[in-house]
Amino acid sequence: MQQGGKTNRDRGANLGGDFPIHHALPIRHRQLDQSMFRIAQLTKFYTLLSALLFSLSIGSVHAESRTDLYEQLTGAKLSEVVPILKQLEDSRDENFLSLIQEMVDGNLYYDKTTLALRVINKVDGVKIVTDPLTGATLEVESGNLKKIRVNNSVRVYIRGASARVQLTQGNAKQRFGAVRDLFAKMDADTLQLITELRVTESSKKVQGAMDLVIAMDQAKQNADPELRVAAINLLATSLEPDVRNLLTALADPADETIVGISARAALEGIEGKVAFYNKVDTLFFGLSLGSVLLLAAIGLAITFGVMGVINMAHGEMIMLGAYTTYVIQLLLPNAIDISIWVAIPAAFLVSGAMGVLIERTVIRFLHGRPLETLLATFGISLILQQLVRTIFSPLNRQVNTPSWMSGQLEINPVLFLTLNRFYIFVFALLVFVSLVVLLNKTNLGLHVRAVSQNRNMARAMGIKTAKVDALTFGLGSGIAGIAGVALSQLTNVGPNLGQSYIIDSFMVVVFGGVGNLLGTLVAAFTLGIANKIFEPITGAVLASILVLVFIILFIQKRPQGLFPQRGRAAE
């Protein structure tokens, strides 16, 4: 409508803005619009409130139904347990995952009076009763509790249910583990769930595991040969044991179809990769054994090379280091993870002090008489063994492994590196590098090298050879004590611990070249790898015998070892 040649919109513009046209309507119309707006807002509010109340009521119903299911679980027969657990899984109970885990571990009980679920765990030999739904610790007589039984069918269901829950609720690592758990046991519902989740999965690693699950199903059941072959080609990239088992079943030698041929080719490629990683695993264990031999022999290389002392008590220095680790853990029972860091310097000081004591009281009077030092140190070793038996008893002692050294590092499904051996390998290299720096960059190292090359000339130059001998023997014994710390993480601690390594230590020193640290390093790793290569073929005892025969023959041809001393030290 136009009034005076201007539209309503023009009047709005004259008021200072491009207002909507309804601002120019009569006041009663605007009031009507505002009333309708308020009614709409109130309607929306009541709708949301109703929805909220409805959801709360549904939640309370679910909570009541879960309580009923918990009570049913306490008195259910074994044949009724799985249906009850399925209902709990469908209810998306947040306690479901921890509940079934305690159940399969045999820790889930119920109170016979109240029918309430309870969990019993042992902590330091003491039974702790907790409520699995709240986590609260309870004081309940264990005689009033009865265990909820499980059988194989329940365990199978729990394994699948745990994986399904983690697929939708866990982090990337948990989802990957859940998919792997489903390789061996896959039903149609779980396969459909994985197929749906694959679309929205963000982790590449989890996506790859899901693709394997789908490919395994296609390789088994798909009617199209081309799709089966495509699935087999995807499975050929995996080293999972369940994938290998499936391909083994499909690789029938009598099957000349494209599916059978593809399965045999895929299996052959996988077996080649497995053989390669088995060799890598053997190499790792050889290096691990070599690192132990290096720690045990490197101290002996110093004392034998510098002083010419055949120290048969060197193994007992290792034993003292191991027992020092045991004592430190007794003093720090609640700090096992850091106890080993305290044990390393403590073992060095204890074994080193014992080495200085032995050198000052016995070895100093036997210089130049190697056979007499052998007999004297052999007697000292017997004394130390009996002393330990008297203090700690002849029984072996268990040293706890810190949590950060426990477990294993998974490189792939067929190659695992145990963390304690890996850390000991790294530790042995650090000790070796530290010792090389000490002998080449410090005054003590300079004096040690001077005494080892020409004792009389070093004395004439003003070097206190007696002090150097004591420090050298203490240094070698201290490093043996550090070796004991490492060995305590691999085996039990006992009075005869050192005797197992003294002969091997001498073999390493002689094979590498007396007094040569680089030769000791090469010899230790060479003998360790050789032992682990021969063991699967000949057995552990015969493997050690073969290594000993090899060293004897080698010394016949090269008496100075791999890296003989040069110059005056060769004398």
pLDDT single digits (tens) 455-481: 778 788 888 878 888 888 898 899 999
> Does pLDDT of 373 surpass 90?
no
- Is 432 inside any structural domain? yes
> Does pLDDT of 13 surpass 70?
no
CATH (domain of 343)? 1.10.3470
- The average pLDDT across 311-327 equals 92
Q: Give the residue with greater pLDDT, 318 vs 544.
A: 318
Residue 138: strand pairing partners:
129
* Whole-number Å distance between alpha carbons of 297 and 304: 10
State pLDDT tens for residues 65-87.
Answer: 667 777 777 777 777 788 888 88
> Does pLDDT of 485 surpass 90?
yes
- Is 206 inside any structural domain? no
> Does pLDDT of 550 surpass 80?
yes
Flag the least confident range among 75-84, 94-103, 559-568.
559-568
Burial of 77 (0-12, 13-18, 19+ CB in 10 A): exposed
* Whole-number Å distance between alpha carbons of 421 and 289: 9
> Does pLDDT of 317 surpass 60?
yes
- Is 174 inside any structural domain? no
Contact in structure between 117 and 109 (CB atoms under 8 Å): yes
- The average pLDDT across 371-386 equals 90
Q: Give the residue with greater pLDDT, 373 vs 170.
A: 373
What are the CA-CA distances from residue 308 to residues 66, 278, 374, 447, 452 (Å)? 78, 42, 11, 16, 9
**Pick from 423, 479, 418, 475: nearest CA to 452:** 475
Which of the four pLDDT bands, split at 50, 70 and 90, describes residue 318?
very high
> Does pLDDT of 203 surpass 90?
no
Cα angle at 52 between 47 and 55, to 5 degrees? 125
* Whole-number Å distance between alpha carbons of 101 and 322: 38
- Of all residues in the chain, the percent with pLDDT exceeding 70 is 84
Which of 57, 80, 95 is a domain's end point? 57
Flag the least confident range among 190-204, 225-239, 263-277.
190-204
What's the distance, Cα to Cα, between the start and end of the chain in Å?
Answer: 123
Flag the least confident range among 45-54, 153-162, 265-274, 394-403.
45-54
- The average pLDDT across 397-403 equals 88
- Tokens at 98, concatenated: 């921890």
Which of the four pLDDT bands, split at 50, 70 and 90, describes residue 158?
confident
What pLDDT was estimated at residue 8? 41
What pLDDT was estimated at residue 15? 36
Which of the four pLDDT bands, split at 50, 70 and 90, describes residue 266?
very high
Which of the four pLDDT bands, split at 50, 70 and 90, describes residue 254?
confident
- Of all residues in the chain, the percent with pLDDT exceeding 90 is 21
What pLDDT was estimated at residue 61? 34
What pLDDT was estimated at residue 30? 46
How many structural domains does the chain have?
Answer: 2
Q: Which domain holds residue 7?
A: 2-57
- The average pLDDT across 487-501 equals 87
What pLDDT was estimated at residue 389? 92
Instruction: Work out the mean pLDDT of the chain and round it to a whole number.
Output: 80
* Whole-number Å distance between alpha carbons of 437 and 442: 8
Which of the four pLDDT bands, split at 50, 70 and 90, describes residue 31?
very low
- Is 83 inside any structural domain? no
- Is 234 inside any structural domain? no
Label residue 121 left, alpha or beta by phi (over 0 means left) and psi (-120 to 50 means alpha). Answer: beta
Which of the four pLDDT bands, split at 50, 70 and 90, describes residue 343?
very high
What pLDDT was estimated at residue 346? 95
- Is 394 inside any structural domain? yes
> Does pLDDT of 165 surpass 90?
no
**513-552: b or e for each residue (b if 16 or more CB lie within 10 Å)?**
bbbbbebbbbbbbbbbbbbbbbbeeeeeeebbeebeebbe
What pLDDT was estimated at residue 6? 44
> Does pLDDT of 62 surpass 60?
no
- Tokens at 561, concatenated: 């070892």
- Is 165 inside any structural domain? no
**107-144: b or e for each residue (b if 16 or more CB lie within 10 Å)?**
bbbbbeeeebbbbbeeeeeeeebbebbeeeeeebeeee
Flag the least confident range among 136-140, 150-154, 276-280.
136-140
> Does pLDDT of 338 surpass 80?
yes
> Does pLDDT of 137 surpass 90?
no
* Whole-number Å distance between alpha carbons of 84 and 48: 34
